[in-house]
Structure 1
Amino acid sequence: MIKEGFEPEKRKLREEYIKSDLVIIGGGMAGSCCAITAARAGLKVTLVQDRPVLGGNGSSEIRLWILGATSHMGNNNRWAREGGVIDEILVENLYRNPEGNPLILDTIMVEKVSQEPNIRLLLNTAMYDLEKKDNEQIDAVWAFCSQNATLYKLKAPLYVDASGDGIMAFLAGAAFRIGAESADEFDELFAPNQDYGELLGHSLYFYSKDTGKPVRFVAPAYANKELSKLPRFKTFNLKDHGCRLWWVEYGGRKDTIHESENIKWELWRVIYGIWDHIKNSGEFPETSTHTLEWVGTIPGKRESRRFEGDYMLSQKDVVEQREHSDAVSFGGWALDLHPADGVYGDKPGCTQWHAKGVYQIPYRTMYSKNIKNLFLAGRIISASHVAFGSSRVMATCAHNAQAVAMAAVLCKKHNLLPATIAENQWIGKLQQNLIANGQYIPRIKLDDPAELVARASIQASSRLKLQELPMDGPWKALHFSMAQLMPFPEGELPSFTIRLRTKEKTVLKTALMTSSKAGNFTPDVTLTEKSYVLEKGEQDCTLVFDYRHPETGYLFVCLHVNDHIEVRCSNMRLSGLVTVYNKFNKAVAISSRQDPPKDIGIESFEFWLPERRPEGHNLAFRLDRALDIFGERNLQNGIFRPALHANAWIADFQDIQPSIDINWNILQKIRSLYIYFDTDFDHPMESTLMGHPESEIPFCVRKFKICDGNGTVISDIQDNHQTIHRVTFEQPLETAKIRIVMEQPGQHVPAALFGVVAY
């Protein structure tokens, strides 16, 4: 029993002092991925989250799907899903949760963090104050947990603000901005005017379900019952069950920090008004058995403060895909701005303009230019309002935060401050560490002198020499132009025989196309065109392109739209090959061609998009000679996904249990081994609601063994579904040979790897 008498003085709350290497404020996707990355690299991390769950806008409290550069497969950014920990989370979520249940994602997030012994996780804990060491450094932060009535004093040499609104950076005095810059500050022609508004608002989602019996709905008194008169309401789709209504947005004319609770109340009025109209207007009799299952209680925030670093990302960085020597991440979501009036305005819910490919994000955007020991992560990084329209999405934020984590590791190890890492001697080390751990940085490869496989010899039991994709798949009508995206070697192109059937005599128009910028997958340059007369019925047609390819890389073999023609596809799927169509995805575009106004600094081009599985078959074809492009050297080139070319070793299709041997001339001491599998970086893996037809990616090798030079089994994996398999040895493994023996992943998919790395 505890019994206390009267205290004339004020009682004090329980206090706990926690000292660590890195304090992270904010447990959204950015903060969580930052914490996991840093902890795995050896830092002691304190992760502070003011909510009961992790994941921020991706959590079950808000339920927005996680996306980034892949943009619903609605742009031309092929194989652009972010790597590292955010990829690991999305792949695991697909495996456990293809239905898109947000509660399951919650469990994955908490599991990933709680499995790291170097992380002290404080849930339901809000930072509210800090102490400064001097004008330019944070000394400690204070946080309070309402659930255990405890005050925490958190002290570390380095801090990360991933809080969304930037509470730590704000209290520390860091320079920040709210709202849109003028068009001339960064030469941004897409900068919005006052009529459009300077801020993106908040959104709330809701779930509905069919109970199978009549359900009454009595609206609360605060519901807005005038919503049916609003222009936006006409776009409501009952099949969306509420949670795809991202356009139920409000607050862009408000203070999105201090008026956030008022904005939430207005969004509640909107949502209950929408549901009242659906249930009680008589216009939707099919919803008589539907109930309102869940309504969000905190809004999904889009924009508030953005803090200034040593560089500010701007529109031209995105559109021109500018290169940066300190690139540590990438983006690829559209420049996506929303009208400030939101659901109460008459403008479309968003204005999205895409770049022709992904763009680099420099490290200099990820720390405060004023507070020397403060990193920036999430949506608050150093970017203009226009560039923020692209960099703000969750997968991009998480990918950036992983770079912050590895920078913090270098800072701790070498007693440095964040800005110092931007210097040449350190930024290269940071880039190499990131790439080895799965981070993709466009146009930068792993080239680490300490890496061992690069100087080994590799022999495979077989390799695919591509001469055909069997003509055993479905027929595809040319209602849209289609193209086989192919990685051709340098030299004359082989002839390309395809199978067609026609309703009547007609002409097939073809083209060979490429991208004007290496590494892009926007076919904006036509190299040659040819037409072929086809007779009625089924027939083979041999395409001959008089073209010499100057270097190994991707080309588009295009078949132009013709409603009279069907094309035979193949059931075989290969890493690094995909068929694309001149279509558009209405989630992120309004036409198969992007044609922005001429005065906003955005380029015009066509969208060429793949189809999602179970569709997405390759074009069936035969070549007059085999392409030898999937050899073992691809395992040593330091790029672990298709980029300028396929970058994959692929086993011969008849080799159902292929192996690779990695040999050195002398014994090596191996402390860690990484194997990079193909989990289809083209697949966005939206985390909630939308659902997926598969739980495992068909290209990924699921069963494999790793043995040393004595034949001793190091790993025997029977159920792999992840992109990277890591083996860490407590005592260095001394061997002159590593053998990896795999099982073919599927009837129509040969085994493939992107790389093997050893340290």
Structure 2
Amino acid sequence: MITNAEKLFRDLKKKEIESDLVVVGGGIAGVCASIAAARLGLKVVLVNDRPVLGGNASSEVRLWVLGATSHMGNNNRWSREGGIIDELLVENMYRNPEGNAVIFDTIILDKVIQENNITLLLNTSVYHVLKKEEDRIYAVEGFCSQNQIKYTLSAPLFVDASGDGIVGFLSGAAFRMGAESTEEFGEKFAPSKEYGELLGHSLYFYTKDTGKKVKYIPPSYALKDITAIPRYRGFNTNEFGCRLWWIEYGGRLDTVHDTEKIKWELWKVVYGVWNHIKNSGEFPDAENLTLEWVGTIPGKRESRRFEGDYIIRQQDIVEQRVHADAVAFGGWSIDLHPADGVFSEKPGCNQWHSKGIYQIPLRSLYSRNVKNLFLAGRIISSTHVAFASTRVMATCGCIGQAVGTAAWLCKSKSLIPATLLVKENINNLQQALLRAGHFIPGIIHNDSFDLVAAATLTASSELHLNELRDDNLFKTLEVSFGQLIPLLPGKVPTLIVQTEAEIETKLEVQLRISRNINNYTPETILETLSFEMSPGRNCIQLNFNQLMPEKGYAFICFLKNPQVSLHFSEQRVTGILSVFNHINVAVSNYGKQSPTDDIGVEAFEFWCPKRRPEGQNLAIKIEDGLYPFSVENIRNGIGRPTTHPNAWVADYNDPSPSVTLNWSGPKRIKCIEICFDTDFDHPMESVLLGHPERVMPFCVRNYSIIDQSGNVVYKKEDNYQSLNTILFDEALVTDMLQLKCDHPSKDTPVAIFAIRCYEN
């Protein structure tokens, strides 16, 4: 029987869920935060207001994931973000090298649902915050439009990774919108007076060739006057998706509350653009093209930014300032867009690069006035100028893993985020992150529980790099070329290279280093050699008199001369890389960064690799050889090339490469972790851009682990991931372990960054 009260009012079904951590927002930041916390044992509720995970990287928006690598268009070598975001991108490379956004959806979802500690709520919008104290959240309430259930989600800790900061806003967390003035933080790139203009939203479209003529009739709301878009002459039939990131609008509006209005304007633009391409008569190659997909929600760039105990600013990025509480890093350019977006007469963006990557402190990843609220993604504590760099998704994923791990430490010690700043807690947090494959520039993994520290290490061989084979592959010096080689302090070894000259000409070769040895900007010229080239083949010997001042990478730079070609090699080695002073317009790289005014950024040259199958190393002979590939590198605490390769590399001719660990007595080993080389220089864009390979050429595919009795206790075939974690049901008791590997290929030897062993 229906009561009178029910006739007047019916409430929705309600469900209460208690957990250790509630993460609001299922973009890259929220996903990485959730997985990080869940893997450390926290019960996590991940709430997302969309039907798919991934945020701007999902099939709903289809923006590629990028971060410090910046399309390989800057000087940030080996800078792809590590840990969980790396795991996702490497998995996507293996399953989806074509860059299908729908497949990337499944990869992200797959990673989340494999974590038993995560309760995933899709299509669920958080709309209310509950507090028992002014500065602490007790619970959030959300509504799922698909099952008509109202959820109350309670936890001691919360992560706002929602993009617009819905939890932070409703909880009363301090926030900002718009640009700060130069005066407030001393940022030279900031405006003289603060303003409310923001970066706008973008909407993408995909096209498809049907093989037959397709007629297009635009909707009534399509933009009629294509000349209202100053860059309309730049449209063509080849570019679509997020290559057209500059179809942007909304910077002068409220990018939270005017989102629907902004979306409609972008729809007008997209359908007007397509009408222009199909029906203007200027694009006959569009005859068989159809509009396969148009986004239904815009990709957002900027709205609220919340205040932590520290606000990241321009100087942190450009000067690469060091923070004791560093837990993540960034490296994208300071990338600001005109407020009028696609309707602006100005260029679509203005990117200013730093010479290297920079640290992101924990103090910027929690609210300064809501005690149990972490911040992740683009809403972290930064100025408008610094936000222009920190906002990109791979950086957000790196931040997400940091806060998910920080939440675990808070829960295990009954702390709130701000109390993690004690030195012991920060050290524990940093070490936990590094163990999980995360990377924090300047921080070394030093785990007292790692049994490898007490082992005697031997290797079947160590690569002594005396030469890179000449494969009769020639490249003309259309632009200046540089070969990075790792050196120790002291005399530079004599180098022998082969050249081909078309006419009598002069070739200049420079020995360069970075002013900051942790960077890869070769702005310091130590010495210049000049050689007279005769027509035909020339063998030149490079004898540099200047000394290498400290351990690090030197650049052997061959200056531009189109009349000269160099010999190159197909051999590739971990930590050895070639770079070119070429142009990458996609990231405002025109060979040299030349700021016109005093805007607080530096002028310098770009020396960047080329994507495979290009990017071969110089064919070179090295007298006395290079010896940076010691087996001791596997316990130096650095899981990628930095100032040196940091890897054990086996000799090319070693028929059975292996590392052996011996202890003075039996050890109980329950867990083994191995870090492989998945080429941290490759940006691995998640969508649209295709990639030439599914597995990075440096990655060890096949390996086995053998105990003191000769038993194979573990065997892996077809590996492609960076970090392999091996857990045994029963602990091994042994005083010896051996890791045997197959070379990835005849041209690329085995390389291992780390082996770690634990009792638990």
Whether TM exceeds 0.5 here: the answer is yes
Contact 1:100 1:690 in 2 (8 A): yes
Contact 2:499 2:538 in 1 (8 A): yes
Contact 1:516 1:524 in 2 (8 A): yes
Deviations 1:601-635 (A, max 9, x none): 11000000100000110000001112221010111
Residue 620, structure 1, aligned to residue 619, structure 2: yes
Cα offset, 1:116, TM superposition: 0.5
1:548 maps to 547
Counterpart CA distance in 2 for 1:735 and 1:76 is 45
What amino acid does structure 2 have at the position aligned with 1:744? H
What amino acid does structure 2 have at the position aligned with 1:116? E
Counterpart CA distance in 2 for 1:315 and 1:590 is 20
1:736 maps to 735
What amino acid does structure 2 have at the position aligned with 1:35? S
Counterpart CA distance in 2 for 1:45 and 1:8 is 38
Residue 117, structure 1, aligned to residue 116, structure 2: yes
Contact 1:165 1:257 in 2 (8 A): yes
Secondary structure of residue in 2 paired with 1:291: strand
Deviations 1:529-556 (A, max 9, x none): 1101121101211111112223321000
Deviations 1:159-184 (A, max 9, x none): 00000000001100000000000011
1:562 maps to 561
- Give matches, 1:141-540, under 5 Å: 141-192=140-191, 198-540=197-539
Contact 1:445 1:639 in 2 (8 A): yes
2:690 maps to 691
Deviations 1:214-243 (A, max 9, x none): 111111011111123421212223211344
Counterpart CA distance in 2 for 1:91 and 1:126 is 30
Cα offset, 1:197, TM superposition: 6.8
Secondary structure of residue in 2 paired with 1:244: helix
Counterpart CA distance in 2 for 1:78 and 1:335 is 18
Secondary structure of residue in 2 paired with 1:410: helix
Cα offset, 1:597, TM superposition: 2.1
Moved more, 745-754 or 6-15: 6-15
Secondary structure of residue in 2 paired with 1:239: coil
What amino acid does structure 2 have at the position aligned with 1:340? A
Counterpart CA distance in 2 for 1:571 and 1:756 is 28
Secondary structure of residue in 1 paired with 2:419: helix
1:654 maps to 653
Counterpart CA distance in 2 for 1:99 and 1:245 is 18
Counterpart CA distance in 2 for 1:196 and 1:128 is 29
Deviations 1:423-444 (A, max 9, x none): 2110011011111111111111
Contact 2:178 2:194 in 1 (8 A): no
Counterpart CA distance in 2 for 1:681 and 1:572 is 18
Deviations 1:626-677 (A, max 9, x none): 2221010111100000001110110000113201001111222333211000
What amino acid does structure 1 have at the position aligned with 2:637? G
Contact 1:228 1:274 in 2 (8 A): no
Residue 12, structure 1, aligned to residue 19, structure 2: no
Counterpart CA distance in 1 for 2:95 and 2:722 is 15
Moved more, 69-78 or 628-637: 628-637
Counterpart CA distance in 2 for 1:738 and 1:141 is 50
What amino acid does structure 1 have at the position aligned with 2:190? A
Contact 1:196 1:339 in 2 (8 A): no
What amino acid does structure 1 have at the position aligned with 2:518? G
Counterpart CA distance in 2 for 1:730 and 1:539 is 61
Counterpart CA distance in 2 for 1:496 and 1:728 is 46
Contact 1:473 1:571 in 2 (8 A): no
Counterpart CA distance in 1 for 2:91 and 2:291 is 30
What amino acid does structure 2 have at the position aligned with 1:423? V
Deviations 1:42-97 (A, max 9, x none): 11100001000000000000000000000000000000000000000000000011
Contact 2:354 2:601 in 1 (8 A): yes
What amino acid does structure 1 have at the position aligned with 2:74? N
What amino acid does structure 1 have at the position aligned with 2:45? T
1:709 maps to 708
Cα offset, 1:194, TM superposition: 7.6
Counterpart CA distance in 2 for 1:402 and 1:533 is 54
Counterpart CA distance in 1 for 2:35 and 2:729 is 20
Deviations 1:549-570 (A, max 9, x none): 2332100011101111000000
Counterpart CA distance in 1 for 2:15 and 2:730 is 37
1:134 maps to 133
2:23 maps to 24
Normalised by the size of structure 2, how large is the TM-score? Answer: 0.98
Distance 1:663 1:611, change over 3 A: same
Counterpart CA distance in 2 for 1:434 and 1:671 is 20
Distance 1:743 1:78, change over 3 A: same
Cα offset, 1:505, TM superposition: 1.3
Secondary structure of residue in 2 paired with 1:256: coil
Secondary structure of residue in 1 paired with 2:646: coil
What amino acid does structure 1 have at the position aligned with 2:723? I
Contact 2:178 2:195 in 1 (8 A): no
Counterpart CA distance in 2 for 1:39 and 1:712 is 34
Contact 1:197 1:339 in 2 (8 A): no
Secondary structure of residue in 2 paired with 1:185: helix
Cα offset, 1:345, TM superposition: 1.1
Deviations 1:193-216 (A, max 9, x none): 689973000000000111111111
Residue 48, structure 1, aligned to residue 47, structure 2: yes
Deviations 1:338-379 (A, max 9, x none): 010001110100010000000011111000010111100000
Contact 1:326 1:363 in 2 (8 A): yes
Counterpart CA distance in 1 for 2:430 and 2:446 is 10
**Cα RMSD, aligned residues only:** 1.4
Deviations 1:580-613 (A, max 9, x none): 0111211101510000123201100000010000
Residue 631, structure 1, aligned to residue 630, structure 2: yes
What amino acid does structure 2 have at the position aligned with 1:519? N
Cα offset, 1:4, TM superposition: 6.6
- Give matches, 1:31-42, under 5 Å: 31-42=30-41
Cα offset, 1:150, TM superposition: 0.6
Contact 2:181 2:193 in 1 (8 A): no
Provide the identity percentage: 54
What amino acid does structure 2 have at the position aligned with 1:230? I
What amino acid does structure 1 have at the position aligned with 2:231? R
Contact 1:207 1:243 in 2 (8 A): no
Contact 1:473 1:617 in 2 (8 A): no
Counterpart CA distance in 2 for 1:706 and 1:422 is 39
What amino acid does structure 2 have at the position aligned with 1:689? L
Contact 1:700 1:745 in 2 (8 A): yes
What amino acid does structure 1 have at the position aligned with 2:43? K
Residue 722, structure 1, aligned to residue 715, structure 2: no
Moved more, 691-700 or 550-559: 550-559
Secondary structure of residue in 1 paired with 2:509: strand
Counterpart CA distance in 2 for 1:710 and 1:128 is 61
What amino acid does structure 2 have at the position aligned with 1:26? G
Count matched residues: 757
Contact 1:165 1:305 in 2 (8 A): yes
Moved more, 470-479 or 682-691: 470-479
Moved more, 604-613 or 621-630: 621-630
Residue 62, structure 1, aligned to residue 61, structure 2: yes
- Give matches, 1:69-84, under 5 Å: 69-84=68-83
Normalised by the size of structure 1, how large is the TM-score? Answer: 0.98
Contact 1:24 1:162 in 2 (8 A): yes
Deviations 1:15-35 (A, max 9, x none): 111111100000000000111
